[in-house]
């Protein structure tokens, strides 16, 4: 365990991460500014015994970038008695695209038509049923990696041949989704607690609008429809802090594509400037969730 300016005995909260990116620096600076005693937990060195070892802090903000470490770190910290934001359950649902789709469907939230094929061979009839163009994605992943746009069945067969050659049976489970025709942008809304606090457009020439792939962010008006849908989507997964990705359909109708548990917010912050501090809003939530 790596500590911040306080010892674990003094700390009322902790930040759990391996990489201290600009986002994490903002969070740590906000904690210092607010004089909230904390420790920094480096996920590369953390271990937690089940034999009643002391919790590192009553509340932990989970900022681990890797899905497996974020999930099992949350599980281990919760087993030690910590309140973790986001919880292990929310991390597990948000980190798995199919589980997110099921949660959205069960909550009655509009989302693109989706199918799950347990083999690459089974994906072909699933794609035929959904229709082309379509998209296939890995169950776990971010930044648009290994996401493929399939304009037709011939392209699908070629891509699925590569999928079948990937090592590991998990890689052969194919998440299939309809392609939504939209403007060259999507909407990222951020939910903290039970409130949508802001939104941005992510615009790109590429059909994938991930900031990690070069998309440009600009401020988006947080309309009532966007806010309501984003909050409902976050709540369907149990996420206390969420980046909700929304699509605008051909007629302007909104649907939810994904709910992200580890919100990267540098682009969002640039678009909003000094009008909004997501780091401070996260600290507000942490203070509100601290055990009495």
pLDDT on residue 53: 76
pLDDT on residue 80: 93
> 138: closest CA among 161, 153, 165, 116?
116
pLDDT on residue 142: 67
CB 117 within 8 A of CB 138: no
Q: Mean pLDDT for each 10-residue chunk of the chain (292 residues)?
A: 57 93 95 94 92 87 95 96 96 97 98 97 97 94 79 96 91 94 90 97 71 77 97 98 95 94 92 89 92 71
Q: Could you give all domains of the chain from N- to C-terminal order, each with its CATH number?
A: 13-85 (3.40.50.20), 113-178 (3.30.1490.20), 182-282 (3.30.470.20)
pLDDT on residue 51: 84
pLDDT on residue 275: 80
pLDDT on residue 1: 45
pLDDT on residue 250: 86
pLDDT on residue 106: 98
d(C-alpha 94, C-alpha 239), whole Å: 8
CB 40 within 8 A of CB 74: no
To the question of pTM greater than 0.85 for the whole model, the response is yes
Phi, psi of 255 (to 5 degrees): -140, 160
pLDDT on residue 37: 93
Token code pair at residue 149: 């746009």
In Å, how far are 36, 171, 238 from 103, measured between CA atoms? 35, 22, 10
pLDDT on residue 276: 87
């Amino acid at each position: 365990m790596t500590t911040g300016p306080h010892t674990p005995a003094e700390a009322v909260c902790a930040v759990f991460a391996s990489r201290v990116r600009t986002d994490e620096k903002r969070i740590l600076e906000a904690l210092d500014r607010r004089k909230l005693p904390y420790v920094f937990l480096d996920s590369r060195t953390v271990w937690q015994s089940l034999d009643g070892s002391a919790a590192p802090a009553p509340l932990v903000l989970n900022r681990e970038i890797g899905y497996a470490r974020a999930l099992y770190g949350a599980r281990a910290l919760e087993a030690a008695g910590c309140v973790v934001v986001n919880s292990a359950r929310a991390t597990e649902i948000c980190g798995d695209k199919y589980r997110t789709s099921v949660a959205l469907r069960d909550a009655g939230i509009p989302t693109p038509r989706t199918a799950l094929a347990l083999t690459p061979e089974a994906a072909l009839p699933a794609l035929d049923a959904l229709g082309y163009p379509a998209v296939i994605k890995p169950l776990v992943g971010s930044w648009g990696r290994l996401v493929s746009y399939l304009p037709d069945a011939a392209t699908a067969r070629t891509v699925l041949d590569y999928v079948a050659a990937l090592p590991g049976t998990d890689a052969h489970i194919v998440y299939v989704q309809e392609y939504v025709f939209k403007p060259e942008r999507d909407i990222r809304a951020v939910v903290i607690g039970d409130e949508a606090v802001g939104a941005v457009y992510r615009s790109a020439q590429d059909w994938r609008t991930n900031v990690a792939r070069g998309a440009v962010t600009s401020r988006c008006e947080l309309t009532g429809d966007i806010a309501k849908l984003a909050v409902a989507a976050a709540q369907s997964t149990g996420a206390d802090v969420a980046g909700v990705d929304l699509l605008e359909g051909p007629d302007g109708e909104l649907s939810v594509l994904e709910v992200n548990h580890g919100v990267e917010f540098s682009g969002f912050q640039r678009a909003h400037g000094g009008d909004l501090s997501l780091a401070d809003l996260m600290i507000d939530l942490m203070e509100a969730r601290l055990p009495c």
